[in-house]
Amino acid sequence: MANKDKISDWDSTPANNTDVGGVAIAGSSSVRLGNDAIQTVMAQTADLNASDTIASASTTDLGSKAAQYLQITGTTTITAFGTVKAGIIKIVEFAGTLTLTHNGTSLILPGAANMTTAAGDIAFMVSEGSGNWRCVSYQPAASPQRTLRGTMQSLLSGSQVDFAIPSWAKWVDINFHNASSSASGSLIVQIGGSGGIETSGYSGSFNVGGTPSLLTSSFVLIGTSSAASIASGSLRLSSLDVDTWAAVWQSGFSSAAGVNNGAGSKVISAGALTTVRFATTGTAFDNGVVNVLYGG
């Protein structure tokens, strides 16, 4: 039987605890050995209460360190925290930026999504045994910024632009400026979850030149217009639930007088919102820019 070299090696069955750090505590031990064992227990407890560092790795073995408070250095993506018995608690501080990869088994993270750390962030990790760890609390070093802007995308080519949306977002704005396509068509927004962009199940209506039409396969920001048309506008998505989103939008032409608007909703069949798409049905974009703004 392996030596009990740290508290996480101790067994809940008393008879299995035959030594402390290799010092025997079973059988006809002498008083001296008993004293040595007690001193070793005190040393191991002191180790537990100390702090230590460990370098980030794909598997960052938290159980290899006796200290309960660990600082993780480096920037290597972490997918697992090693194998140790269930119930062991580790408090980890991150020295810099790295990615924690959620997989629902060996590394269970809040929101069931990957996390990017920052220097000074602290995570409370609990072992569930068999190499599985759960983050029961995550404390950012700084207050999280809850309104974020994406990277503006040019609309000089291609027929669609996709933006990734984090799981915590409760609203999303899609804003576009001077958008135009190379052939007649519509400007639309579609959304999706883990199963990809969805092309059905959009309900509501949009207005084109005073004539309302029902939504079916997308939110229609601009109805069918000529290649010479140039439009700007904004669509706001608001969360009713993790998979249910309401939308309202307004857009107008700068190439000729005209306003389009609409409102609707969509239930994502594949769960939480992960992606929004701005697209044209008119072959390809040839002018303009688009970006997203989102918050929680």
- Domains defined along the chain, listed by start: 7-48 (no CATH), 50-139 (2.60.120), 147-295 (2.60.120)
Number of neighbours of residue 66 by Cβ within 10 angstroms: 20
83 in Cβ contact with 131 (< 8 Å): yes
Q: Is-above-0.85 flag for pTM?
A: no
Number of neighbours of residue 21 by Cβ within 10 angstroms: 16
The Cα 20–Cα 7 span in angstroms is 9
Terminal CA-CA length for the chain: 52
Q: Quick one: 30 exposed, middle or buried, by C-beta within 10 A (0-12, 13-18, 19+)?
A: exposed
User: Residue 22 — φ and ψ, nearest 5°?
Assistant: 90, -5
Half-sphere exposure of 258 (CA within 13 A, CB side): 20
Asked whether residue 177 carries a pLDDT value surpassing 80, the answer given is yes
Each residue of 187-241: pLDDT tens digit? 999 999 999 999 999 999 999 777 899 999 999 998 877 788 899 999 999 999 9
Residue type, 294: Y
The Cα 204–Cα 197 span in angstroms is 18
Each residue of 35-74: pLDDT tens digit? 566 656 656 665 666 789 999 999 999 999 988 999 999 9
